[in-house]
Structure 1
Amino acid sequence: MRRQKLIDAGRMQATRTSDCIRRNDMTIYRFLEDAQPELLDQIITLYRRAGWWPEEDADPLLVAQIIKGSHCFLAALDGQRLAGMGRVISDRASDAYIQDLTVHPDYRRRGIGTCLVNTLLKRLQTDGIPWIGLIAERNSFPFYIPFGFEKMPDSTPMLLRKS
């Protein structure tokens, strides 16, 4: 696989990988180390479009904390436009969870989600994290099967109820 470094600051910041290039696709996949002001509103919009955030959770400081606190936060960029995103939460030693993977509706069915997952999986492999999980939402689990994910029959996702 041919990989062309676009930005190199000691570790992969932005790359174009041959398996993520489609005809006429200029999408760049960049790991964000901190919140970039020009992307904050777009990240909030993607969280809302995915149905994960109500209006009151639209705090740019929260987005900055999410990016900073994640093992990695990956943005798919079409010029200055955020086409998709995904992040990983992890103990940085043994376990990792892919979370908040979404693609803007205008960019769906172009392979961007696939490239996001592949890039996150490669990063976790490079970082030496052996166990990778996720919670697939709204019957999206078939999307993850080609990557090697499978249902965990003896597990049930749970959420602590707010009082």
Structure 2
Amino acid sequence: MFRNCLFTLTLAGFLCAGTSAVLAQDNGASGQEAPPPGGPAAHGHGPHHMDPAQHAAMLAKHLKLSSDQQSKVEDIFKSEQSQMESLHSATSLSPQDRHSKMMDIHKTTSEQVRAVLNPDQQKKWDEMQSRREERMQSHHDQGPGGAPNTTPPPQ
């Protein structure tokens, strides 16, 4: 039980910054170069470990953000990072509460980013978020190591 909660919490943490992972997948699909060896994804961690400035720069590249939009998005990502760090250090929360709060923070961040975008950018953002959610669901449907998750859902 604890192992499943820890796995879920860890996965949720990685996915909370998941827009970067979606952007990286989108980057590969658009025929652009992959990150260089030794870069952020070199050790299997992927781009979701980028700092807010890198995250905003990547989003700026994919959505063609203006410098003003990029600055606003970077501030949003800084706020998300700060909230996530506070949440990770809050030892009084149950794993379920922590996961729920992490998802709320991520949802709020996504809504704030979307509000900065113009209609064309919002459409692309929505597509990116849909792909991220599909990937999250496929990861959730699989257990550790890519094996199908045979653990029954909590009642």
Q: Given the two structures, how large is their TM-score scaled by the length of structure 2?
A: 0.29
More strand by share: 1
Greater relative contact order structure (CA < 8 Å, 6+ sep): 2
More helix by share: 2
Q: Given the two structures, how large is their TM-score scaled by the length of structure 1?
A: 0.28
